[in-house]
Structure 1
C-alpha cells in the first residue's frame, strides 16, 4: 500500500488559505479543506493535478460543528497508508475593529472562537488521536499578537493567545518526547479581503488606518501566493523548530 500525505487547511476558500492549498497540491499532497464555503477553484485545481480533495463545510465559530467535522477528518487521516499530516489552522477574522467599550459581546465571542478556540480544539483532537503519525501543526498568527494596536484588542489578544498556546504545546510535546511538532507563522501584510475590511474602518475605531491605506496605495501588500510559498517551503523542506514563531520577512530575505 503506497503512503500518502494529507493537509488539513481551515479558512481554505479564499486568500492565503486558497493559495496554500494550490501550492500543496503542486507538491502532491492530498487536501481536506474546512470553511463555511467551498473554493471551486481549489477543487478544480486538485482534480486537474490528480490529487484527492474533500471539503468539510464548517462554521468555526461554533464548537459543535468543529467537533463533528474533525471527527470525520480524523477517520480519514488515521488510515494505515497515511504517512504525513499537515494541519494548518489558517482561518481568522480581524473583526470587531473597535475600542474596548464599543464592541458587542457576540462579536467578541465569535472572534475568540474563530481565532483562538477553534485552533485549540482542533489541535487537541489531533494530539489525542494521531500520536503514531508524523504530524506538523502550523498556526497562522499575526504581528499584532506581540504588540498593542488601537482598535484591535480582540484580534491582537486572540493572536497573542494563539502564540502562547503554540509555545506551550511545543513544550509539552518535548517533555513527553512525542514526535509531533507545532509552530506559528506570521504572514505579514497581504493583499486580501481582510485588508479591505481593515481599510473600511473609521479612524476613531482604528487609529492606524492611514498607514494601512498607504500599504495598498504604495503596492506594499504581498500577494498571498508569495506568502504561501514561504510557508509551504518551510513545511516541506526545512527543519522546523517546534514552538517557534516564524515571520515571513525572515523567510523571504
Structure 2
C-alpha cells in the first residue's frame, strides 16, 4: 500500500471558517481572484517595492494623510478620495514602479490580515495570474498548506474556490500532498469542471455579475487569464513584498 504523503493541502471557503483551520497550517495562500490578489500580483509584476494591506477605510486614510499612494475599494467601486481602487490596470502604471502602495478592499485585504493572525504561518498571495509559478514554489515547501478563499463578505464564492481548486489539483498531482476535507474535494472538482473555459463558467457567478454591472468586464478578463504575472507576493511583517531567488 502506498505511503500517505506527509503534508496536506486544504481549502477554506471563506474567512468566516478560518478559525476551524488556522492551527493546522504553516503556509496560507490568500485568494481574492476578482480582484484584490490579482491586482497585487499585477502590481509586483509591474515592479512596485511593497504593498501594505489594511482592513479598514480609516486605516487607509491615515496612510493617505501621510503621503502614501493608497487604493481603496468597497462593493466593487473606488472609494472617493483615494488614488485608485483595486482594478489590476491601476497597478500597471509605470509611476508605481519602486513605490510602496497601500490597499484596502472589501474582501481581499481583510483576508490577508486574518491569515496574518495565524501564529508562525507564512502568508502568500494567490490568483490565476500567478497560478503555475506559485504552485511550483508551493510544491517545494515541506509544509501543510491552506488555500484561504476571500469570498464575498464572508460568504462562499465560485471564482476564489475554482482558483483554490487549481492550486490543490496541481499539488495533489505531485504526490507530495493529500487532502481530507470535503471543501478541498469540492474545489478540485469545480476547477476540473471549469478549467476549459473559466470565464464562461463564471458567467452567472454573483461577483462577475456585480462587476459587469459596474462596467468592469475588462478587469474580469484580465483576472481570469492564467499565468500572466509569474510573481510570488509574500507577507513580511505588515508589508507584502516579492519573494525572489528561490
Q: Same fold (TM over 0.5)?
A: no
TM-score by length of 2: 0.31
Instruction: Choose 1 or 2 for highest CA Rg.
Output: 1
Structure number with higher relative contact order (C-alpha < 8 Å, ≥ 6 residues apart)? 2
TM-score (norm 1): 0.30
